Structure 1
Amino acid sequence: MSDALDSYRSAWNTKPVLRLVYDDFYNRIAGICRPGTTIEIGSGIGNLKEKIGNVISTDIQFAPWLDCVMDAQTLPFAAKTADNIVMVDVLHHVEYPTAFFAEADRVLRPGGRIIMVEPAITWGSSAFYRLLHHEPVVMSADPLIVGAPDPKRDPYAANQAIPTLLATRDRERFHRQFPRLRIDRVDWFSLLAYPLTGGFKPWSLVSEAAARRLLRAERTIEPLIGRALAFRMMLVVEKSATTDD
């Protein structure tokens, strides 16, 4: 197990407020998964299985609780074998998202879904991600560039802007490039509770009880102000129910 995963697991076990925020992520995901087989990519410390049954847990690096070690750009699954592909904080680490989406298109059954929770670069979150987060935000990047993945690349290399670019500026290009896949839903959520917890860092500026109240309040107002202020997004891509192959 890598030092990073060990650190994340330690934070998870010692920060109830962190578990509370991620439970909100997992509940959102579980609420829109199709019945059937779910492949989780980038399972990390492996908590999604507590919320969703029939999950195949995978990551690019070994951990004893994983079912499979693999790269998101080369999925070791047969065609049309999965009903859902789920990812939390993974897409913005993928070197060539086009390679992943091509593989997801192959592996998903007709009507299957890719469900991703990722950073949202908005008016309200931009300064936080640019100044207080270690991963870069490059809004000029092309998320649909095609290339050959580098097996020696650092799996934690990232561009936090990638999911937002796909959901906004490059949405129609995505649809043209992957005609069987459609961005079906984008939820802009997570206002104050997430940044105030400090994520997987050892500090938190909010108690578990206060975070619980904040999350309840955020649910009511995120449809109104989420697009402008959200720190997170849930991006749902659905495969056509009728395919040519």
Structure 2
Amino acid sequence: MEIEHTELYGHDLATTLENRSRLQSNRNLMLWYRELYSQLFDNIPNFSQKKVLEIGSGTSPLKIFQPHVTTTDVLNLDYLDIVFDCHNIADLQDIPDRSIDVITMTNVLHHLRDPIFFLSGASRKLKKGGQLVLVEPFFSAVSFPLLKFLHHEPVNFQISQPVLDTIEGPLSSSNQAMPYMMFFSRRDWLTRLSDQYDLKATKLGYFTSIAYMATGGISRVLPVPHWLYRLYLPIDRRLARAFPKLFASFFSAHLIAK
């Protein structure tokens, strides 16, 4: 079934447009994104001159900070550069093979029906030595109960393969546990990509504890004064980086294409 014909495609499209309309009014969330992108990309030399492809752009906060990025999504949003199902990236004619320096995605992998298939296809578009940079939920002592019991997206550690059984909509279908399992508890899944990526060179990082939740996230705004949030965010970042198993709520991975 094509993703645009799934049951909740229209619902997810409308939700994304609503979230985009309020995005920049959430100053704390925009600061969170700015610091995230700084951590992800500041160590990539001349990043602003690189050819960068974002997968699952959705509300598109990255484009605000890095206008040169090519934005994409499966949702038909008229402000994006390319609309397509990222599972078909290997056959995407708009992007020549071996032409991209960086492919990036934030909280997208756990929505994909077959993330290993996507990552394999994405490697065809990366230059040799190019990077695929992703951010996904990390399950620590602090974040596990928040993600499992308070967040609306499902968490299922009982899967035997890194795939989603059903797809109801691009946003509505997910398993937050899947990327964590791929990179931490079921690395045998990741070894399926050993021909496409130099897995020994993979770089992992950790980002924030409860700082994202304190913004209200993408769909709401919590009344935390911006001056207070600015003071707290560096502390939150240090806790996540120093003690990830206790505090971290997100991890990043830099995969290097062969």
Q: Please give the TM-score of this superposition, normalised by the length of structure 2.
A: 0.83
229-238 or 195-204, which deviates more: 195-204
Name which of 180, 197, 206 aligns with 2:196: 180
Which structure shows the higher helix fraction? 2
Choose 80-89 or 17-26, whichever is displaced more: 17-26
Structure 1 unaligned blocks of 5 or more: 241-245
Please tell me whether the aligned partners of residues 56 and 105 of structure 2 are also in contact (alpha carbons under 8 angstroms): yes
Shift of 1:44: 1.1
Q: Does structure 2 conserve the Cα–Cα contact (< 8 Å) formed by 1:25 and 1:117?
A: no
Equivalent of residue 71 in structure 2, options 54, 57, 71: 57
Which residue pairs with 1:155 in the alignment?
Answer: 170
User: How many residues are aligned here?
Assistant: 237
Moved more, 38-47 or 226-235: 226-235
8 Å CA contact 2:100–2:126 kept in 1: the answer is: yes
Matches within 5 A, 1:11-90: 11-33=22-44, 35=47, 36-52=50-66, 54-75=68-89, 76=92, 77-90=95-108
Q: Which amino acid aligns with 2:202?
A: D
Aligned sequence identity (%) = 26
RMSD (Å), alpha carbons: 2.3
The 1:228–1:62 alpha-carbon spacing in structure 2 relative to 1, beyond 3 Å, is same
Gaps of 5+ in 2: 1-9
Deviation for aligned residue 1:48: 1.1
Please give the alpha-carbon distance, in whole angstroms, between the structure 2 residues aligned to 1:117 and 1:93.
12
Q: Which residues in structure 2 correspond to 1:115-154 (within 5 Å)?
A: 115-142=133-160, 144=162, 153-154=168-169
> Once structures 1 and 2 are overlaid, which stretch shifts more, 47-56 or 104-113?
47-56
Q: Indicate if the aligned counterparts of 1:191 and 1:218 stay in contact, CA closer than 8 A.
A: yes
Q: Deviations over 1:92-112 (max 9, x none)?
A: 100000111111111111101
Whether contact under 8 Å (2:135, 2:250) holds in the other structure is yes
Cα distance in structure 2, aligned partners of 1:228 and 1:197: 20
Q: Name the amino acid aligned to 1:178.
A: S
Helix, strand or coil at the partner of 2:202: strand
